[in-house]
């Protein structure tokens, strides 16, 4: 299979999605909508036929999307929606962009990636000659299983990043970015970031002006503020076996504006500071200071999302002491500011 690079003068940019049963629907339909909207934007910007002839300009080509699979027919997605596959893997010719969607299964331990063996086998054959390979969400696990991400920096869904790094030590895993480009290999974070990834591909192909026009029509960020750590739950601490420490953690959550220093908490438990800190870490996997900061951050996030309270008031009631401290924690933990976080996540209510 020989790669034929696409350009505005060489015909449509061929995008092929690798389909398999149980696939996450938005991993396919989200990018497909971005590519379709780009075609509309490009069509509206094309010069008339007379202008093309006068100026010697060719017609700007858009995207041609194909769904390919191991067999033809309907493919059930995780949402129950069926997508129809009309082409086989073995029938594909030159591919400009090969998109590898993912499939997340929710197990007892949380989200788990599914690696489809038929897709892996085809990627080993088709991936090296594709113009670029773009993995969506846990599709990165599939691409890595085919050996295409070795030596590359990559990301995936935040909940599977640790497993991704353990399973593929030759891949440099960064769990925070919304998407990562490493040469011709592209990877994205969880599910909805498939559209961010597609928009970045459009920007690379047609420039930021076209990508911005598409983003405005689709009510998207051209570049989403912050990384995907802002979507994860920061309080992933084990429940622990000590009733007194569980009660202390409940009390901390109800008194975030109080003195929650190690000396104050140790005194409340009638323990020495050293013994308290050791017990707390053994029970929660976290230091008291880091746990308190996580609790305060979670409370601040909820207030930013659900209320109109001003940032100084939020900093006070959550125990940060100052707006500067609140900003510092948001930058360090979420790579964004309180204002940016509120503008992105505040509910309509």
User: What CATH number is associated with residue 297?
Assistant: 1.10.10.60
Within a domain: 7: no
Q: How far is CA 49 from the centre of its chain?
A: 41
Q: Are residues 175 and 70 in the same domain?
A: yes
Q: Are residues 308 and 168 in the same domain?
A: no
Instruction: Check residue 144 and report its DSSP letter.
Output: H
If one counts the domains in the chain, the total is 2
Spatial separation of the C-alpha atoms in residues 163 and 112, rounded to whole Å: 9
Within a domain: 259: yes
Within a domain: 237: no
Q: Are residues 193 and 255 in the same domain?
A: no
Of 229, 256, 273, the position where a domain reaches its end is 229
Q: Which domain holds residue 145?
A: 13-229
Structure tokens at 294: 């996580």
Is residue 79 within 8 Å of residue 103, measured between CB atoms? Answer: no
Within a domain: 51: yes
pTM beyond 0.75: the answer is no
- Each residue's pLDDT expressed in tens, for the chain with a length of 349 residues: 333 334 444 589 999 999 999 999 999 999 999 999 999 999 877 654 344 434 444 455 799 999 999 999 999 999 999 999 999 999 999 999 999 999 998 888 778 999 999 999 999 999 999 999 999 999 999 999 999 999 999 999 988 999 999 999 999 998 888 889 999 999 999 888 999 999 999 999 998 889 989 999 998 876 676 677 666 644 455 656 788 998 998 899 889 999 999 999 999 999 999 999 999 999 888 899 999 998 999 889 889 987 889 999 999 999 999 999 999 999 998 888 999 888 877 754 3
Spatial separation of the C-alpha atoms in residues 27 and 23, rounded to whole Å: 8
Phi and psi of 74, rounded to 5°?
Answer: -70, 140
List, as one string, the DSSP characters of 192-232: THHHHHHHHHHHHHH-HHHHHHHHHHTT--SS-SS-GGGGS
Q: Are residues 111 and 62 in the same domain?
A: yes
Within a domain: 5: no
Spatial separation of the C-alpha atoms in residues 50 and 48, rounded to whole Å: 5
Instruction: Write the CB contacts of 241 (distance below 8 Å, at least 6 apart in sequence).
Output: 283
Partnered with residue 242 across adjacent β-strands are: none
Q: Are residues 272 and 186 in the same domain?
A: no
Pairing relation of β-strands 82-85 and 110-113? unpaired
Cβ burial of 42 (10 Å; 0-12, 13-18, 19+) is buried
Q: Are residues 178 and 286 in the same domain?
A: no
Question: Which element (helix H / strand E) includes 310?
Answer: none
Q: What are the b/e assignments for 225-261, b being 16+ CB within 10 Å? A: bbbbbbbbebeeeeebeeeebeebbeebeeebeeebe
Indicate the Cα dihedral angle 295, 108, 281, 334, nearest 10°. Answer: -40
Q: Are residues 109 and 182 in the same domain?
A: yes
Q: Are residues 151 and 113 in the same domain?
A: yes
Q: Are residues 177 and 75 in the same domain?
A: yes
Within a domain: 270: yes
As a whole number of Å, the end-to-end CA separation of the chain is 53
Task: Evaluate the CA torsion angle 284, 287, 292, 297 in order and state its sign.
Answer: negative
Of 182, 198, 229, the position where a domain reaches its end is 229
Q: What is the pLDDT of residue 6?
A: 41
Within a domain: 162: yes
> In the block, which residue shows the tokens 């020495």?
272
Q: Are residues 150 and 225 in the same domain?
A: yes
Q: Are residues 224 and 249 in the same domain?
A: no
| CATH number for the domain that contains residue 149 | 3.40.50.880
Spatial separation of the C-alpha atoms in residues 16 and 92, rounded to whole Å: 8
Within a domain: 321: yes
Alpha helices per DSSP H over 115-272: 117-126, 139-145, 161-167, 193-206, 208-217, 243-254, 262-269
Of 204, 229, 254, the position where a domain reaches its end is 229
Q: Are residues 279 and 214 in the same domain?
A: no
């Amino acid at each position: 299979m020989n790669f034929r690079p696409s350009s505005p003068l060489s015909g449509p940019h061929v995008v092929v999605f690798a389909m398999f049963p149980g696939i996450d629907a938005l991993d396919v339909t989200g990018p497909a909508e971005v590519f379709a909207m780009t075609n509309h934007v490009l069509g509206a910007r094309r010069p008339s036929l007379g202008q093309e002839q006068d100026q010697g300009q060719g017609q700007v080509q858009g995207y041609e999307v194909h769904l390919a699979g191991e067999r033809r027919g309907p493919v059930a997605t995780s949402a129950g929606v069926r997508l129809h596959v009309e082409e086989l893997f073995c029938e594909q010719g030159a591919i400009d962009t090969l998109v590898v969607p993912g499939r997340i299964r929710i197990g007892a331990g949380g989200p788990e990636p599914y690696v489809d063996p038929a897709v892996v086998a085809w990627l080993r054959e088709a991936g090296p000659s594709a113009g670029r390979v773009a993995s969506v969400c846990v599709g990165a696990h599939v691409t890595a299983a085919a050996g295409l991400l070795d030596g590359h920096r990559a990301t995936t869904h935040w909940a599977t990043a640790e497993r991704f790094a353990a399973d593929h030590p030759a891949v440099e895993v960064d769990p925070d970015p919304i998407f990562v480009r490493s040469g011709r290999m592209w990877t994205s974070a969880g599910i909805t970031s498939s559209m961010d990834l597609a928009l970045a591909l459009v920007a690379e192909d047609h420039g930021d002006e076209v990508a911005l026009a598409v983003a405005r029509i689709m009510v998207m960020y051209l570049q989403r503020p912050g990384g995907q750590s802002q979507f994860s739950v920061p309080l992933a601490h084990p429940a622990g076996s000590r009733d007194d420490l569980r009660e202390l953690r409940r009390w901390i959550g109800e008194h975030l504006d109080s003195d929650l220093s190690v000396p104050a908490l140790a005194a409340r438990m009638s323990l020495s500071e050293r013994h308290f800190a050791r017990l707390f870490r053994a029970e929660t996997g976290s230091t008291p200071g880091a746990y308190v900061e996580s609790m305060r951050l979670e409370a601040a996030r909820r207030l930013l999302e659900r209320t109109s309270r001003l940032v100084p008031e939020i900093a006070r009631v959550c125990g940060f002491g100052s707006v500067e401290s609140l900003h510092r924690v948001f930058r360090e933990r979420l790579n964004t500011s309180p204002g940016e976080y509120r503008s992105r996540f505040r509910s309509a209510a």
